[in-house]
Structure 1
């Protein structure tokens, strides 16, 4: 019956052999998938992957396979309960990628990816940050719409915002309906416990549904759950790792014919290799760490990396895995006086100071330093990019965002969740727009082995200066009313960074930061959407250069970091990508 219906849907001109196996929904078994053909194969069932798959499979004539390394954990409270945030970290639902300096980049290894284990913050960057993307592409691609006006409608398309309820309004909650979507699949709301330009202090919406007792609204819950039992043209295979892309044409442009994959559980790295065939496209949506690694394993990357590993370089694309940018955070806290907390809720209050607010009277000197140092910084980071000249162009676009747009450089993230005590005032301070660049590189032909992740934390000294200035400002806030009236004094770092008229010496703050900072789990840039002369890996249509049918759709395409949490933008990118893919067929 299924084959009959599907034949009618796709037309009599399609042969019976070309139609995918009638397996749909979510499965952990390769039976009925191995050796089968699909129109689209999506590598990664995370934030972007499920969004793209859901939109493409809206057409019943199109068949879609998603392959996700993690399991289906939607019934696990570490996933559906936002109040369990951080409980999944370093466990079976977390890739827990090791980086240098003993740091870890937490990343969701479960259906829904990081949208299933993150803090749920629903924030966006400034308009100018998205507009800058277009300036780094070919002029002929301006009409593709990688700017605020072209991406904002897709961010709204993904969103189903629930306005504040009467109790929240009574307590001061406000919102602008013009900047929120009202009919998308991802619920966002204020918990029971905004957009355009984020230089403010605000209580932010989260990707939760307060009408369902603050249930997390992950990509799995939003895009897959409502249709998984009725959309027979979409199958999601969990607990399987894509080991490489398979090519039918190995001359330029490369043509992907499908994928190779293997069983992957918490106890098993499968030795059997399975295959699935793609009639139209292979879409990489495995995240900023794994997407470039899969390309490298497939022979697409820097020949200087692949050659010594005995991987035949099919496409010598030097910047695959490069241009890595990751944010950093450092904690501060002070004792509280037991002030009452009315209500509960996950962390949602953030302040976003810009460079001028961080440095005050010293801003002019810092501006001059930034403007004059760009060539030096570009030269120092060129090994992790395409060239010093290319990076200088990117850095100047980033500097313009900082100086002209006055985009936030720091996020002061007020922590109210389960990891702080009732009488503690705690803040995580994030450096949002690093100039340091790193890279992701595979270390062997074993797809189960983690790649080397070299974030290059604080390699540009300006990044450390920003973190220091942010902590000094936060110390000033802690000792100023009304916070000081609620506090018994700073406890972290406290005496470890002696206070003085300047809020502590730079040297003491730097030592504290280097001993205590963490990665934020917001890596971007490793398959950057840039014109080729700047080191781009994908073009404005998200197609990997010199391939005919391979795209990347995840945060790895972001050319520059954002002054925001990533999920709202990733959803928007994926929604837009789905329309680009549909238009190309």
Structure 2
């Protein structure tokens, strides 16, 4: 076990202003620097780059790709996973789910025997996810600004600012006439047409009646309206959604690796990506605030090897942490940035006692309902496209007013109950009121129904994933050892606020009603899951039975965020509007951990926007 003591956290003392000029840092070797993708530390160990990026996932490669557009800028990316771009589990988006739980997945343990998926491979989760390309509602992005300092509003963390950068990342192909016949639609004005990440409907888009029937039944059962395009900022609807795939390249997955790195890796000699190495900590120049990072320490990390040799690389300008919402807080804590009460017992000196590192964790939960069909053909190969997003009023129907009253009356109590996973009860009350406002006033979705044309259970022909989008329960990520190879403790605190389970159950009850509503009911012969495990009493089943079943059969959606939140310090923020870690001079966080609240969306499109915006903020700073 490696014990990180104070002396090992520090680079020899020197003037921070000189550090940032790189006057006391090792220089790059003469001649052509190492570039491209490598597993070897030769030519990297001990060298200096303008920027060092921790994590070669969705955000890390996006930032690196944009920074290295300037040939005078040098960037090192260090990724724990391997380069699996030629693995069909990665490039074949039709094979989604095959990589989950395997060597390409961090498979983070959480409580109750649950795990949370995360891509441990070049491209991160963008290399193994389902690829659904959606955005949240306008009000959800606008809410981020309200949690920042008033003086930071001009930075543009809102819908308008994010839309610009989400479009910048995207190369959208509008649906073909054949896809339009199958139900695909779009609003071209809200998409980018020249970005690196390809999004489109697939060649194998399902032609059968199942997807349109599901959307129509959802509308008939609840009144959810149809919209043409989930990218337009109005998520409370039913629609068909595209995926991050390249239609002109046989539907190959368009991951961050394939989009930002592959086209330039043999051209840009100013960018090197080191794979199969784990960043063990950030190296600091000083122990007084603000902290100045000089670089990183890292070690070999494969499926069979936890390296004992420590290597170093130095950053002339910045260290950018982009390791994801569950790894990023661990890296900060291992580096002495976090709650002193957590770090002290591990013999890690808290150089920066920033207590909310790893707190404010929010993760969505799901259940799956399955049914058998009436003998129809699938007429396609996927991926699936049909999605429905009901709001509180559509979920609870006649009980909506009482649920609104419950939320308004309970915020203070809920905040107090979750305070140990936040900065304070008062801070969390402010955040919860902002969250409640978008739920009640702006009617953003509380549930997503993701319709799957092929079920998971034997004999199932359709399945629908029901997941709760905006939990009030808060959790945390904390390291349990100074050994960087030991996984942190991930405590999601599932359903600790009772309203979250109420939403999960309401979603399941409405979903059962959708299954019994035409035209979908004409295609279904029987409900297989939960079936008789939750008897239908004519009212969709009792809440008590649904609660028992939901708690026994839920899973994590793998959309964790919030563990290095972009908020005012008084609310528990870890980074400011420029994504700089408070009380550091040159460390930024760029990944889902900076999002202060959940979105009613799949995250990838939004995180691309965050990373694109971050790259411009970094460029402007230098």
TM-score, length-scaled by structure 2:
0.91
The superposition leaves residues 358-409 of structure 1 with CA deviations (integer Å, 9 ceiling, x where unpaired) of 0011100000001110000000000000000000000000000100110000
Question: Partner residue of 2:177?
Answer: 166
Distance 1:175 1:537 in 2: 37
Distance 1:423 1:320 in 2: 43
Distance 1:73 1:417 in 2: 27
Asked if the contact 1:83–1:418 (Cα under 8 Å) also holds between the matched residues in 2, the reply is no
The superposition leaves residues 63-108 of structure 1 with CA deviations (integer Å, 9 ceiling, x where unpaired) of 0000000000000000000011010011110000000011010100
Question: Partner residue of 1:6?
Answer: none
Question: Partner residue of 2:210?
Answer: none
Distance 2:539 2:582 in 1: 50
Question: Partner residue of 2:540?
Answer: 503
Alpha carbons of structure 1 residues 15 and 304: separation in structure 2 relative to 1, 3 Å = closer
Distance 1:81 1:232 in 2: 29
Asked if the contact 1:83–1:417 (Cα under 8 Å) also holds between the matched residues in 2, the reply is no
Determine if the alignment matches structure 1 residue 314 to structure 2 residue 344. no
Determine if the alignment matches structure 1 residue 183 to structure 2 residue 220. no
Equivalent position to 2:116, from 98, 105, 124: 105
Question: Partner residue of 1:50?
Answer: 61
Asked if the contact 1:468–1:510 (Cα under 8 Å) also holds between the matched residues in 2, the reply is yes
* 1:337-348 correspondence runs (5 A): 337-348=374-385
Asked if the contact 1:338–1:422 (Cα under 8 Å) also holds between the matched residues in 2, the reply is no
Asked if the contact 2:455–2:461 (Cα under 8 Å) also holds between the matched residues in 1, the reply is no
The superposition leaves residues 506-554 of structure 1 with CA deviations (integer Å, 9 ceiling, x where unpaired) of 1110110111000001000000000000000000000000000000000
Question: Partner residue of 2:18?
Answer: none
The superposition leaves residues 245-282 of structure 1 with CA deviations (integer Å, 9 ceiling, x where unpaired) of 00012210000000000000000000000000000000
In the TM superposition, what is the alpha-carbon distance from 1:18 to its structure 2 partner?
3.0
* 1:274-285 correspondence runs (5 A): 274-285=311-322
Distance 2:27 2:317 in 1: 12
Q: Which runs of 5+ in 1 are unaligned?
A: 1-12
SS in 1 for 2:449: strand
In the TM superposition, what is the alpha-carbon distance from 1:129 to its structure 2 partner?
0.2
Question: Partner residue of 1:258?
Answer: 295
Question: Partner residue of 1:142?
Answer: 153
Q: Which runs of 5+ in 2 are unaligned?
A: 1-21, 206-228
Distance 1:251 1:125 in 2: 40
Distance 2:315 2:158 in 1: 31
Asked if the contact 1:283–1:550 (Cα under 8 Å) also holds between the matched residues in 2, the reply is yes
Question: Partner residue of 2:564?
Answer: 527
Distance 1:425 1:307 in 2: 51
Distance 1:482 1:171 in 2: 16
The superposition leaves residues 389-437 of structure 1 with CA deviations (integer Å, 9 ceiling, x where unpaired) of 0000000000001001100000001012584668512101010000000
Question: Partner residue of 2:135?
Answer: 124
The superposition leaves residues 92-136 of structure 1 with CA deviations (integer Å, 9 ceiling, x where unpaired) of 100000000110101000000000000000000100000000000
Equivalent position to 2:498, from 458, 461, 465: 461
Asked if the contact 1:354–1:409 (Cα under 8 Å) also holds between the matched residues in 2, the reply is yes
Equivalent position to 1:38, from 27, 34, 49: 49
* 1:315-394 correspondence runs (5 A): 315-394=352-431
Distance 2:25 2:530 in 1: 67
Determine if the alignment matches structure 1 residue 470 to structure 2 residue 481. no
Distance 1:443 1:16 in 2: 33
Distance 1:198 1:278 in 2: 41
Distance 1:580 1:550 in 2: 13
Equivalent position to 1:442, from 461, 470, 479: 479
SS in 1 for 2:387: strand
Question: Partner residue of 2:11?
Answer: none
In the TM superposition, what is the alpha-carbon distance from 1:15 to its structure 2 partner?
11
Asked if the contact 2:468–2:503 (Cα under 8 Å) also holds between the matched residues in 1, the reply is yes
Distance 1:171 1:141 in 2: 45
In the TM superposition, what is the alpha-carbon distance from 1:502 to its structure 2 partner?
2.2
In the TM superposition, what is the alpha-carbon distance from 1:205 to its structure 2 partner?
0.8
